[in-house]
Structure 1
Amino acid sequence: MRSTHKLGRALAVVGIAAALAITTACSSKGGARNEGGGAATGERFTIAMITHEKLGDTFWDKIRSGAEAAAKQLNVDLKYSSDPEAGKQATLVQNAIDSKVNGIAVTLAKPDAVGPVAQAARKAGIPVVAFNSGYQDWQKYDAQMYFGSDEDVAGQAVGSRIASGGGGKAVCVIQEQGHVALEARCAGVKKTFPNTEILYVDSENMPAVQSTIVAKLQQDPSITWVVTLGAPIALAAQGAKQGAGSSAKIATFDLNTDVAKQIESGAIEFSVDQQPYVQGYMAVTSLWLNLTNGNDIGGGRSVLTGPSYVDKTNITKIAQYAARNTR
């Protein structure tokens, strides 16, 4: 119930922010104008979006799709860059500061490494919002907003759903050790479903991911659920289940076209969607509103874009959006 209320509040804030974007684009003096319904005109701001994306992870396509849609509408010059290594991601943030961008949107998967340089951007007078990762840390480093999911709450929701679906034993697969959002998800699962074991894999080696899950399922046939934290890992887990001859059910966080098809067929039970398209879109939009109209969307509080369940009850409608890379 708690997560449902938070999601409702989050979507309400997103709706308000979107309306503000349209209003400001049409009428703000000195800002951009959008009088013909197309891309905004006027002063062109440069916004840097800096993430911990690993190449090949389709999740980030949705983040970028949302960010690029907002940038196109608002006449923003979007500079996207990424590095999965925290130190290198921090360097990218410093590069954005040095190039004097107008705003920065950054993920805080490794906040100890990236947070201080994000804080340095604020001290340099650059507006900064955090998104996707860093729910517990964004205020510590003076970010002005956070767009994403409370991953602990999301994990707890998954654990409760597993418990109500027959229980047994779960293995929660973390594809990047030390990533705060991923660790929080599995910790949340374990809170509401204590019979959960953590399994670490490396998402940069997908064949090894699948073989590691195969070995685990063969070693422990009592496992009834495999919980993955990303769509590509879910597909690897599905292959591992078949390879191990296991009857374990698969649940995952996040969504792509292939996972949507597997939910439709019943091969994957459900996905917990944090709506990355919304995260990218609102990160750019909130910075633009701040730059053009002095807005502080959310009043210094986080805007929760998830968790939201995707399962057989709603996949028919959602699959069309997954196919066009917006869900």
Structure 2
Amino acid sequence: MERMQIRRSSGRRLSGRGLTVVSLLALSAAALTGCASGKATGDGAGQATATAAGGSTSGTKSNGKASIYVIGGKADDPFWSAIKRGGEDAAKLVKAGGGSVTFLGPQNYDNLGPDAAKLTLTALSQNPSAIVVPDWVPENQDAAIKQAVAKGVRVFVYNAGGVEAAKRTGGIKYIGSDDYEAGKAGGVKFAESGAKNILCVNTVPGAANSEVRCKGIADGAKSKGAKAKQLPLPSSNFGNPSAVTQAIKGALLKDSDVDALVTIGVQDADSAASAIDQAKAGDKVKLGTFDLSDSQLTRIKSGKQLFAIDQQPYLQGFYSVSMANQYLSYGVLPPQNPLLTGPLLVTADNVDAAIAGTKAGVR
């Protein structure tokens, strides 16, 4: 999310062959999915998607059974599907103990900050034991997160916000990647591959994680003598491949100096690949993206894409739910904060291992 706008207040398995480690993967938590479908509505947040694993979704705090709520992205966002898969696998142990895990997400990213805050309050109204939540837009979300903490709910911040968000809001841990370091790694890779003028395409401008990704790209490029700038697009374009393609194509035709493109997510990367083809710039413009998908790996293997930066969303979902359950059940808590799941840089050198991970359904 592996996605979000402040002005509008909107918003994968290590191989023995060794993926390029940009940040070391921190230690794992105990394994824990079976789930049944349900629905919840976040007031004003659009209809949320919700899935409960195990027993009742309310009152579990008082009877000693863990009730964990996970706030995530859109149900049809492939990145969040990987996070949910990890969370569902971890939920097996929660269910075995008589507890439950419920997943909530917005219908779109047009008003992500307020929507995520309302979903947090929706979860809080169910008397949960713990809430797992990204801090995408702090100015909108922090008050809701602090309200949960003040009521004694254990909060784990994951995916976005970093350890600073956990400390600021009273969260117990941060689980996820370091978006700034991930961006720096991408910027360095571009520059070392000959790129001089990089364009960071941001379809959710203002969101904390996407902004810091583009900043990392710029700083990494600068450290190697290259430069980068951002192409901010309306968050309503997210999930609209045609609109993103045309915007990127227009930018390439307007500025012939651009020789590298990086996108904040895989859907935008597919649009960027189309834009490069339509602008007939395939022999000049290198492509990179944050996150993984089959199409990214196929292009990397064929030489049409330079890299993908993997934050391992499966592990974010798995570790977050596992850690919350272990802490609620036994007071067990890894000392590392943040608990990093990446980033890892996937290139032609290690793409086969990443492809194996996608076939297993965990990347």
Q: Give TM class, smaller chain.
A: 0.7 to 0.9
- Choose which of 254, 257, 260 in structure 2 pairs with 1:225: 260
1:121 aligns with 2:141: no
Structure 2 residue matching 1:49: 3-state secondary structure: strand
Which residue of 31, 45, 50 maps to 2:71?
A: 50
Deviation per residue, 1:73-93 (Å, 9 max, x gap) = 331421111123211211111
CA-to-aligned-CA distance 1:181-217 (integer Å, 9 cap, x gap): 1100110111122421100123142211000000011
The answer as to 2:348 corresponding to 1:312 is yes
Among 261, 264, 272, the alignment partner of 1:237 is 272
Q: What secondary structure does 2:167 align onto?
A: coil
Q: Distance in 2 between matches of 1:215 and 1:79?
A: 42
**What is the deviation of 1:7?**
2.8
Structure 1 Cα separation of the partners of residues 22 and 309 of structure 2: 14
Instruction: Give the alignment's TM-score, normalised by structure 1.
Output: 0.86
Distance 2:361 2:185 in 1: 25
Unaligned runs of 5+ in 2: 1-19, 33-52, 56-62
Equivalent residue, structure 1, for 2:185: 157
Could you tell me whether the CA contact under 8 Å between 1:257 and 1:323 is conserved in 2? no
Q: Which contiguous aligned blocks of 4+ residues in structure 1 show a shift greater than 3 angstroms?
A: 39-44
Q: Counterpart amino acid of 1:179?
A: A
Corresponding residue for 1:254? 291
Which residue type is aligned with residue 92 of structure 2?
K
Aligned-residue Cα RMSD (Å) equals 2.1
Helix, strand or coil at the partner of 1:198: strand
Q: Distance in 2 between matches of 1:310 and 1:5?
A: 9
- Which residue, out of 339, 345, 351, partners 1:303? 339
Task: Identify the structure with the greater helix proportion.
Answer: 1
Q: Any conservation in 2 of the 1:69–1:281 contact (CA below 8 Å)?
A: yes
CA distance, structure 1, for counterparts of residue 241 and residue 195 of structure 2:
28
Q: Secondary structure at the match of 1:306?
A: coil
Q: Is the 8 A contact 1:54 1:204 kept in 2?
A: no
What is the TM-score when the length of structure 2 is the normalising length? Answer: 0.78
Aligned length: 300
Q: What SS class does the counterpart of residue 73 from structure 1 fall into?
A: helix
CA distance in structure 1 between the aligned counterparts of 2:219 and 2:231, rounded to whole angstroms: 16
CA deviations 1:115-162 (Å, max 9, x no partner) are: 221111111111110110001322100110111111111111111111
Whether the 8 Å CA contact 1:6–1:304 is kept in 2: the answer is no
Q: Which residue of 2 aligns with 1:193?
A: 221
| Distance in 2, Cα, partners of 1:5 & 1:55 | 29
Could you list the runs of 5+ residues in structure 1 that have no partner in the other structure?
Answer: 23-38
